[in-house]
Structure 1
Amino acid sequence: IESYGMTEAAHQMASNRLPPGQRKPGSVGAAAGPDVAVMAPDGRLLDAGETGEIVIRGPNVTAGYEKNPDANASAFAHGWFHTGDQGVLDEDGYLRVTGRLKEIINRGGEKISPLEVDGVLMDHPAVAQVVSFAMPHDKLGEEVAAAVVLREGQSASESDIRGFASTRLADFKVPRKVLILDEIPKGATGKLQRIGLAAKLGLG
């Protein structure tokens, strides 16, 4: 029986029904406790059939992450918890998950802000440019990785940079892989794009 859940709420925020209830293959079911909705980027709740970000609220949703204001600011807005997942509700309130929207890295249910990791790595004296991103992991779902460009004339190894990060970040936030590149790949618009970067760099 398909269901949808996460550490911040419950293992069943939505679930397909057991008989005599209706099960819809391809869906993760209807709300099973908290309110489940789909939201547009401007905070509007969307109608059935419209695709947007899956948001939840209710008594079993966490009030926030301890000592992680960056993640809190990103995840909690408009009175809802923003899951970072993309989805659509049908006319009966059954949810279909269609992808990921947010750059927040979900490591086994632990939410990590890549901007926080970027900020720490940029403090390394040899680092000129950095972009942290999610790479797939068999058991955790996602792990933290980072692509780094070094300052001209400076040198640093992957272990140097990871060791530096470990003095300033909780262990689960330290990049498990650091790629030292001459240039970080950019998207079609010329901007750095975290989503999809793992595949571009051969880590996906």
Structure 2
Amino acid sequence: MSTASGDGTDAGGDEASSAAAGRRIPPASSMSWVRNLRRFVGMGAGLGSEALMELETKRILLEIFKERQRKSAEAGSIPSFYKKKPEEGSISSRVQRLAKYRFLKKQSEMLLNADDLDAMWVCLRENCVIDDATGAEKMNYEDFCHIATVCTEQIGQKCKRFFSPSNFMKFEKDDSGRIAILPFYLYVMRTVSYFLRERAVKLAS
């Protein structure tokens, strides 16, 4: 019985070995896709090839450079941005001076004169509130808009540009969001004075 069992075991082992030999995996070098992959990497065409990436980058930059050269050639010569000042006494010089004078005159008509500044100061003082802590004359944004309406009715549209929200935000505000009227009025006076000086300089030039 033991002999039969041993013979059966040997026979089964031989059959398993034969089946395993029939299903043996071929070496990697014999597979076609492995050979192709190795050839692809060896040629330097893979993503890991820094030399190929550098060549491709140079090619793209060269194409961009050639395209810019082509556009520059098509654009032609650069236009001149400088024109010689007309001679004194010429027609061009007189026309230029007349145009400058009319422009500055129109600008000066939009500026506040001394009477306008006095009227604005009266409007500011009549429509402000007194700070109980400091005694300073102040106005909040609602007062600011109301004073703008009153000044526009009394002085005209030329004072309206001083009462913009951005101008109100330029000044220091207290805890109640109010600004003092004196710094605002001084700001208006400095602005008017600056434009008057600029106008005088441009007329003299």
Q: Tell me the TM-score normalised to structure 1 length.
A: 0.27
More strand by share: 1
Q: Tell me the TM-score normalised to structure 2 length.
A: 0.27
Larger relative contact order (Cα-Cα within 8 Å, sequence gap ≥ 6)? 2
More helix by share: 2
